[in-house]
Amino acid sequence: MFTGLIKATGNLRKRGSGVAVKVNGAFEPLVLGDSVAVDGVCLTVAEVLKTGFFADVSSETLTRTTLDSKAAKGAVVNLEPALRLSDRLGGHLVSGHIDGLGEILGVEFFDSFWKLEVCWKDTNFSRYICEKGSIALNGISLTVGGCNNEGSRFWMAIVPHTWENTALKYLGIGDLINLEADLLAKYTESLLRKNCKNHSESHSSDLTEEWLSKHGWH
Protein backbone atom coordinates (compact mmCIF):
# COMPACT_ATOMS: atom_id res chain seq x y z
CA MET A 1 0.00 0.00 0.00
CA PHE A 2 1.17 3.54 -0.82
CA THR A 3 0.11 7.13 -0.21
CA GLY A 4 0.93 8.77 -3.53
CA LEU A 5 3.64 10.98 -2.01
CA ILE A 6 6.74 10.60 -4.19
CA LYS A 7 10.05 10.14 -2.36
CA ALA A 8 12.45 10.17 -5.32
CA THR A 9 12.72 9.81 -9.07
CA GLY A 10 14.68 7.28 -11.06
CA ASN A 11 15.60 6.18 -14.57
CA LEU A 12 13.95 3.06 -15.95
CA ARG A 13 15.74 0.55 -18.18
CA LYS A 14 14.60 -2.75 -19.69
CA ARG A 15 16.61 -5.75 -18.45
CA GLY A 16 15.70 -9.30 -19.34
CA SER A 17 12.25 -10.19 -18.01
CA GLY A 18 11.94 -7.01 -15.99
CA VAL A 19 13.21 -3.51 -15.40
CA ALA A 20 16.21 -1.96 -13.67
CA VAL A 21 15.63 1.29 -11.81
CA LYS A 22 18.49 3.70 -11.17
CA VAL A 23 17.46 5.84 -8.21
CA ASN A 24 18.26 9.54 -8.41
CA GLY A 25 18.92 11.11 -5.04
CA ALA A 26 18.23 9.83 -1.52
CA PHE A 27 15.98 6.79 -1.07
CA GLU A 28 15.52 4.49 1.88
CA PRO A 29 17.60 1.26 1.87
CA LEU A 30 15.90 -1.61 0.08
CA VAL A 31 15.97 -5.36 0.73
CA LEU A 32 14.77 -8.28 -1.36
CA GLY A 33 10.98 -8.52 -1.45
CA ASP A 34 10.34 -4.84 -0.75
CA SER A 35 7.50 -3.20 -2.65
CA VAL A 36 8.18 0.02 -4.57
CA ALA A 37 5.71 2.00 -6.64
CA VAL A 38 7.34 2.86 -9.97
CA ASP A 39 5.26 5.50 -11.74
CA GLY A 40 2.36 4.17 -9.70
CA VAL A 41 2.98 0.49 -10.48
CA CYS A 42 3.67 -1.75 -7.47
CA LEU A 43 6.82 -3.78 -8.18
CA THR A 44 8.73 -6.22 -5.99
CA VAL A 45 12.48 -5.83 -5.51
CA ALA A 46 14.06 -9.00 -6.95
CA GLU A 47 17.65 -7.75 -6.80
CA VAL A 48 19.25 -4.86 -4.95
CA LEU A 49 21.67 -2.96 -7.17
CA LYS A 50 24.40 -0.52 -6.20
CA THR A 51 22.42 2.45 -7.49
CA GLY A 52 18.87 1.05 -7.40
CA PHE A 53 17.06 -2.23 -7.91
CA PHE A 54 15.77 -4.78 -10.40
CA ALA A 55 12.16 -6.01 -10.54
CA ASP A 56 10.43 -8.64 -12.65
CA VAL A 57 7.45 -7.37 -14.63
CA SER A 58 4.57 -9.54 -15.88
CA SER A 59 3.07 -9.26 -19.36
CA GLU A 60 -0.19 -8.09 -17.75
CA THR A 61 1.62 -5.17 -16.14
CA LEU A 62 3.37 -4.27 -19.40
CA THR A 63 0.02 -4.30 -21.23
CA ARG A 64 -1.79 -2.11 -18.71
CA THR A 65 0.93 0.45 -17.98
CA THR A 66 3.54 2.69 -19.57
CA LEU A 67 6.51 0.81 -18.07
CA ASP A 68 7.49 -0.96 -21.29
CA SER A 69 7.65 2.18 -23.42
CA LYS A 70 9.39 4.17 -20.68
CA ALA A 71 11.99 1.46 -20.06
CA ALA A 72 12.81 1.42 -23.77
CA LYS A 73 13.95 5.05 -23.64
CA GLY A 74 15.34 5.26 -20.09
CA ALA A 75 12.61 7.66 -19.00
CA VAL A 76 12.40 9.32 -15.59
CA VAL A 77 9.83 7.73 -13.24
CA ASN A 78 8.36 8.48 -9.83
CA LEU A 79 9.35 6.25 -6.88
CA GLU A 80 7.66 5.60 -3.55
CA PRO A 81 8.45 2.85 -1.00
CA ALA A 82 5.57 0.93 0.57
CA LEU A 83 3.65 2.56 3.40
CA ARG A 84 4.45 1.55 6.97
CA LEU A 85 1.51 1.25 9.38
CA SER A 86 3.16 3.92 11.55
CA ASP A 87 3.54 6.42 8.66
CA ARG A 88 1.37 9.46 8.10
CA LEU A 89 -1.19 9.12 5.34
CA GLY A 90 -0.39 12.38 3.61
CA GLY A 91 -1.99 11.58 0.27
CA HIS A 92 -4.67 8.91 -0.15
CA LEU A 93 -4.70 5.11 -0.14
CA VAL A 94 -3.00 3.91 -3.32
CA SER A 95 -2.69 0.19 -4.10
CA GLY A 96 -0.18 0.39 -6.94
CA HIS A 97 -2.55 -1.56 -9.23
CA ILE A 98 -3.14 0.51 -12.35
CA ASP A 99 -6.72 0.68 -13.64
CA GLY A 100 -5.89 2.04 -17.05
CA LEU A 101 -4.01 4.53 -19.15
CA GLY A 102 -4.72 8.21 -19.54
CA GLU A 103 -3.54 10.83 -22.00
CA ILE A 104 -2.24 14.33 -21.36
CA LEU A 105 -4.56 16.82 -23.08
CA GLY A 106 -3.09 20.07 -21.82
CA VAL A 107 -0.36 21.58 -19.64
CA GLU A 108 -0.81 25.22 -18.70
CA PHE A 109 1.11 27.39 -16.24
CA PHE A 110 -0.66 29.97 -14.08
CA ASP A 111 0.78 32.34 -11.45
CA SER A 112 1.43 29.70 -8.80
CA PHE A 113 0.54 26.30 -10.25
CA TRP A 114 0.37 24.14 -13.37
CA LYS A 115 -2.99 23.01 -14.69
CA LEU A 116 -2.78 19.46 -16.03
CA GLU A 117 -5.73 18.22 -18.10
CA VAL A 118 -6.06 14.50 -18.85
CA CYS A 119 -8.54 11.95 -20.16
CA TRP A 120 -9.08 8.24 -19.63
CA LYS A 121 -8.22 6.06 -22.61
CA ASP A 122 -10.74 3.54 -21.24
CA THR A 123 -13.91 5.37 -20.21
CA ASN A 124 -15.11 2.44 -18.09
CA PHE A 125 -13.27 4.09 -15.18
CA SER A 126 -14.74 7.56 -15.73
CA ARG A 127 -17.43 6.96 -13.09
CA TYR A 128 -14.80 7.12 -10.33
CA ILE A 129 -13.90 10.73 -11.14
CA CYS A 130 -15.61 13.58 -9.29
CA GLU A 131 -14.67 17.12 -8.37
CA LYS A 132 -12.42 17.20 -5.27
CA GLY A 133 -11.99 13.42 -5.47
CA SER A 134 -8.64 11.64 -5.43
CA ILE A 135 -6.70 10.18 -8.36
CA ALA A 136 -3.22 8.67 -8.60
CA LEU A 137 -1.40 9.86 -11.74
CA ASN A 138 1.90 8.04 -12.33
CA GLY A 139 1.80 7.22 -8.63
CA ILE A 140 1.22 10.81 -7.47
CA SER A 141 -1.75 11.51 -5.22
CA LEU A 142 -3.66 14.40 -6.78
CA THR A 143 -7.02 16.11 -6.26
CA VAL A 144 -9.43 16.48 -9.15
CA GLY A 145 -10.03 20.20 -9.66
CA GLY A 146 -12.85 19.74 -12.16
CA CYS A 147 -14.23 17.30 -14.71
CA ASN A 148 -16.84 16.88 -17.42
CA ASN A 149 -20.18 15.22 -16.60
CA GLU A 150 -18.96 11.75 -17.51
CA GLY A 151 -15.63 12.05 -15.68
CA SER A 152 -13.78 11.03 -18.83
CA ARG A 153 -11.89 14.36 -18.91
CA PHE A 154 -10.59 16.10 -15.80
CA TRP A 155 -7.88 18.44 -14.58
CA MET A 156 -5.65 18.88 -11.55
CA ALA A 157 -3.72 21.83 -10.13
CA ILE A 158 -0.05 20.93 -9.60
CA VAL A 159 1.77 22.96 -6.95
CA PRO A 160 5.46 23.94 -7.53
CA HIS A 161 6.86 21.42 -5.01
CA THR A 162 5.13 18.49 -6.73
CA TRP A 163 6.07 19.76 -10.18
CA GLU A 164 9.75 20.16 -9.36
CA ASN A 165 10.20 16.98 -7.31
CA THR A 166 8.44 14.46 -9.54
CA ALA A 167 8.59 13.36 -13.17
CA LEU A 168 5.47 15.40 -14.03
CA LYS A 169 7.61 18.17 -15.49
CA TYR A 170 8.74 15.84 -18.26
CA LEU A 171 5.22 15.16 -19.53
CA GLY A 172 3.86 16.75 -22.69
CA ILE A 173 0.58 16.80 -24.60
CA GLY A 174 -0.23 13.38 -26.02
CA ASP A 175 1.91 11.45 -23.51
CA LEU A 176 0.34 8.38 -21.88
CA ILE A 177 0.13 8.10 -18.09
CA ASN A 178 -0.76 5.45 -15.50
CA LEU A 179 -4.02 6.12 -13.66
CA GLU A 180 -5.39 4.48 -10.52
CA ALA A 181 -8.87 5.46 -9.37
CA ASP A 182 -9.68 5.99 -5.70
CA LEU A 183 -9.53 2.62 -3.94
CA LEU A 184 -12.31 3.49 -1.47
CA ALA A 185 -14.65 4.44 -4.32
CA LYS A 186 -14.08 1.07 -6.01
CA TYR A 187 -14.65 -0.89 -2.78
CA THR A 188 -17.81 1.10 -2.03
CA GLU A 189 -19.19 0.44 -5.50
CA SER A 190 -18.42 -3.28 -5.23
CA LEU A 191 -20.13 -3.62 -1.84
CA LEU A 192 -23.22 -1.70 -2.97
CA ARG A 193 -23.55 -3.86 -6.07
CA LYS A 194 -23.31 -7.07 -4.02
CA ASN A 195 -25.84 -5.79 -1.47
CA CYS A 196 -28.29 -4.82 -4.22
CA LYS A 197 -27.88 -8.21 -5.90
CA ASN A 198 -28.35 -10.12 -2.64
CA HIS A 199 -31.37 -7.98 -1.74
CA SER A 200 -32.93 -8.62 -5.14
CA GLU A 201 -32.27 -12.36 -4.98
CA SER A 202 -33.64 -12.71 -1.44
CA HIS A 203 -36.86 -10.93 -2.39
CA SER A 204 -37.32 -12.87 -5.62
CA SER A 205 -36.82 -16.18 -3.82
CA ASP A 206 -39.65 -15.30 -1.37
CA LEU A 207 -42.17 -15.13 -4.18
CA THR A 208 -43.13 -18.80 -4.51
CA GLU A 209 -46.41 -20.62 -5.21
CA GLU A 210 -46.55 -21.67 -1.57
CA TRP A 211 -46.10 -18.08 -0.40
CA LEU A 212 -48.83 -16.83 -2.74
CA SER A 213 -51.28 -19.52 -1.60
CA LYS A 214 -50.55 -18.77 2.06
CA HIS A 215 -51.31 -15.09 1.53
CA GLY A 216 -54.62 -15.59 -0.24
CA TRP A 217 -53.56 -15.72 -3.86
CA HIS A 218 -55.33 -18.70 -5.39
Which CATH number do you get for residue 33?
A: 2.40.30.20
Q: Which residue segment(s) compose the domain that 119 sits in?
A: 100-186
pTM of the model: 0.85
The verdict on 152 and 113 lying in the same domain is yes
Q: What is the distance between the alpha carbons of residues 12 and 28, in angstroms, rounded to a whole number?
A: 18
Looking at the 3D structure of the chain, how many domains does it have?
2
Q: What is the distance between the alpha carbons of residues 101 and 77, in angstroms, rounded to a whole number?
A: 15
Q: Which helix (H) or strand (E) holds 204?
A: helix 183-206
pLDDT per residue of the chain (218 residues) written in tens, 0 to 9: 999 999 999 999 999 989 999 999 889 899 999 999 999 999 999 999 999 999 999 989 988 999 999 999 999 999 999 998 888 888 899 999 999 999 999 999 998 999 999 999 988 899 999 999 999 999 999 999 999 999 999 999 999 999 999 999 999 999 999 999 998 888 888 888 876 666 555 555 565 677 667 767 75
